């Protein structure tokens, strides 16, 4: 594990470019980093600010904010182990990218937020996903001292109710799924506390039981939790892997695509597309 104090400014760019989460509220990219309004364990809404200066990351003061920043940047990802596997496999291109910092995934401060955002990607254009996330923050988020809106906590979603989510936030049929997910978040500690991360089998069984979470959404969330042995296959990924017909999709979900990379299956796939 690498602490944020050891992260170079150049390593921040690959993380922010790892996937579309960098464009979803409440994160806002700045000229030399990003801001992230969030709620601390105490219930206080604050703004996390990550900047770069003199080639290094300027991290936030306070033990809790520092831990959250390291989680958002996936600094617990065993990048050196992946590099060692690249050397073993003589995957020079992937090794070069890994040395530049590619492999870590940008994620939210909580599994709850990542789960909601994953739900917002299902059967939706990217523009619609952005709109739903922005509306959730603007209408149900809490305001920090800097005037920014946080991602809503599950209890605020429950209080708003399914009709509000459908009519005012624009969640459509996902409103029911979101309400049920919020109820799960209240009952399952690791959805709101990333330090309580379960094992992969426990997480997969639980997530796949949620309303609205099929195989793709389940695996997508598992990857964000750090389980890179899973390969989420949606239409875009399937097309890249040569799975072009809808009928082929299910039969190829557990095929041998990048299977020999083991716990770095998704990492190898992702870097092969960079």
Cβ neighbors of 18 (< 8 A, separation 6 or more) are 102, 104, 105, 106, 270
| C-alpha to C-alpha distance for 144 and 133, rounded to whole angstroms | 18
DSSP string, 191-203: GT-GGG---HHHH
Pick from 210, 213, 217, 273: which is nearest to 240 by CA?
273
The Cα-based distances of 141 to 25, 112, 134, 153, 181 in angstroms read 10, 14, 10, 8, 17
Segments making up each domain of the chain, as ranges: 4-77
Angle at 132 between CA 128 and CA 136, to 5 degrees: 170
List the pLDDT tens digit at each of the 274 positions of the chain: 578 988 999 999 999 999 999 999 999 999 999 999 999 999 999 999 999 999 999 988 899 999 999 999 999 999 999 999 999 999 999 999 999 999 999 999 999 999 999 999 999 999 999 999 999 999 999 999 999 999 999 999 999 999 999 999 999 999 999 999 999 999 999 999 999 999 999 999 999 999 999 999 999 999 999 999 999 976 555 454 554 444 454 445 445 589 999 999 999 999 999 9
Candidates 140, 153, 164; CA nearest to 191 is 153
Classify 35 as helix, strand or coil.
strand
Task: Give the CA count within 13 Å in the CB-facing half-sphere of 118.
Answer: 29
């Amino acid at each position: 594990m690498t602490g944020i104090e050891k992260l170079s400014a150049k390593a921040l760019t690959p993380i922010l470019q790892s996937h579309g989460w960098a464009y979803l509220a409440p994160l806002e990219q700045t000229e030399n980093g990003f801001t992230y309004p969030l709620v601390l364990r105490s219930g206080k809404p604050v703004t996390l600010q990550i900047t770069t200066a003199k080639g290094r990351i300027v991290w936030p003061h306070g033990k809790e904010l520092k831990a959250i920043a390291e989680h958002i940047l996936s600094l617990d990802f065993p990048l050196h182990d992946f590099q060692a596997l690249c050397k073993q496999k003589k995957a020079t291109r992937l090794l070069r990218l890994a040395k530049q910092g590619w492999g870590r995934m940008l994620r939210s401060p909580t599994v709850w937020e990542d789960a909601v955002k994953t739900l917002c990607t299902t059967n939706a254009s990217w523009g619609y996903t952005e709109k739903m996330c922005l509306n959730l923050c603007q209408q149900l988020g809490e305001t920090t001292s800097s005037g920014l809106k946080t991602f809503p906590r599950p209890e605020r979603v429950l209080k708003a109710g399914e009709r509000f989510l459908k009519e005012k936030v624009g969640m459509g049929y996902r409103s029911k799924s979101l309400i049920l997910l919020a109820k799960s978040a209240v009952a399952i500690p690791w959805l709101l506390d990333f330090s309580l991360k379960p094992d992969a089998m426990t997480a997969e069984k639980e997530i796949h039981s949620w309303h609205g979470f099929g195989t793709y959404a389940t695996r997508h969330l598992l990857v964000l939790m750090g389980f890179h042995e899973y390969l989420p296959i949606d239409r875009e990924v399937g097309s890249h892997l040569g799975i072009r017909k809808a009928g082929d999709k299910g039969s190829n979900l557990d095929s041998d695509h990048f299977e020999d990379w083991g716990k770095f299956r998704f990492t190898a796939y992702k870097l092969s597309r960079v």
